[in-house]
Amino acid sequence: MATTGMDPEIFDQFIDQLKRYVRERLIPAEAEVIANDRIPDDLLDEMREMGLFGLTMPEEYGGSGMNVPQYVETIRVLSYALPAYRSITSINLGMVCSALKNSGTDEQKAEWLPRLAAGEIACFGLTEPGSGSDSAAMATTARKDGNGYVLNGSKRYITNAPHAKLGLIMARTSQEALPRNAHVSAFLVPMDSPGISVGKPDRKMGQSGSHIADIYLDDVKLPGDALLGGEEGKGFATAMQSLDNGRLSVGAASAGYAQRILDTALRYASERKAFGEPIANFQLIQAMLADSRAEIYAAECMLRDASEKADKGKAIIECASAKMFASEMCNRVADRCVQIHGGAGYLAEYEAERFYRDSRIYTIYEGTTQILQLVIAKNMLREFAAGAAA
């Protein structure tokens, strides 16, 4: 059943306010964010005051109570600006909040959701040096210790790890690889717990101001109530459910950023002259612009449909498809933007070069294009087999 979400009229007003904020505050601050590789504290405080960290949290916990389509549209609008602005909020909203709402106990929700809605930053610890999508190879362990657990292992490429107050950490509670990944459990881990250390932020190709780092867990002792939902063996299922929202967020980010990239290409093509006229008059330039607009429109339609289906229940194929298409589309639009700029597109002086680098990650995180192809195909075959057997 679909969730009610924010009142539509209030939501429309919020979106109008967010569009102004993106253009009047976030975009003008991009140069500073890139130069310092961090979002200024005053901007973070403004984002907290606007409620951008609590969009999907239930109202009783201090959030806005947005449904999935409203959340996806908000991320699309926010993502017209530098990717770091979405990145700092998205783990709270699309993954940790989703896991807590779907699987957390009442006590866990009461403790963490208000803090996350107020702007405490969270991280999501699934990927490891030796495993990402392959949960059977997960090496991080959670050993029973009286009524609690002791965690040992490491996590890699964890977004927001250097800033997080809370980590949703996946660890194996069984040495054997069990059916349906029941050997993996999820834990709510305060990041200041003894035994946790965070590595130096990794240097990246793009996405300045957004930070990833390794997390090391050395005999981290947790109480029993740190186990998400109070039940072992549900961690991987929780992670996969959360990834549906995470994939929609990346798809929305791809669509929002692609529109920014296309607008930049349009502006350059209208201003740059060759042979005595703007290059926008040349049909092969127009073809690249037209292809970009059509693909952005297709991604927006996919995201609307997928988010509506996800709001009503499981939409694994739709979410994977929307993320896969939108992220690949954003890369194509960024490539065309560089091409339209010609030699200028290869220079750091112009935004096209940065757009190209920033966009590349979208086809990788929250499931690579290749993993998503497998997800889509396996679920198609499973549905076909179920239909044939009926």
DSSP 27: T
Residue positions counted in the chain: 390
Q: Which residue has the tokens 């112009």?
A: 350
Strands (DSSP E) found in 100-252: 122-125, 141-145, 148-159, 166-172, 184-190, 196-198, 212-222
C-alpha closest to that of 68 among 322, 260, 298? 322
Non-local CB neighbours of 264 within 8 Å, separated by 6+ positions:
337, 351, 352, 355
DSSP 131: B
Given the residues 73, 120, 366, 383, the one annotated as active site: 366
Tokens of 64: 């806005």
Give dist(CA 179, CA 257) in Å, integer.
39
Non-local CB neighbours of 58 within 8 Å, separated by 6+ positions:
65, 101, 113
Tally of CA atoms within 13 A in the half-sphere of 183 that contains its CB:
15
Does the annotation mark 366 as catalytic? yes
Give dist(CA 252, CA 158) in Å, integer.
20
Q: Which residue has the tokens 């990833």?
A: 212
Pair type for strands 166-172 and 122-125: parallel
Pair type for strands 122-125 and 212-222: unpaired
Catalytic residues: 366
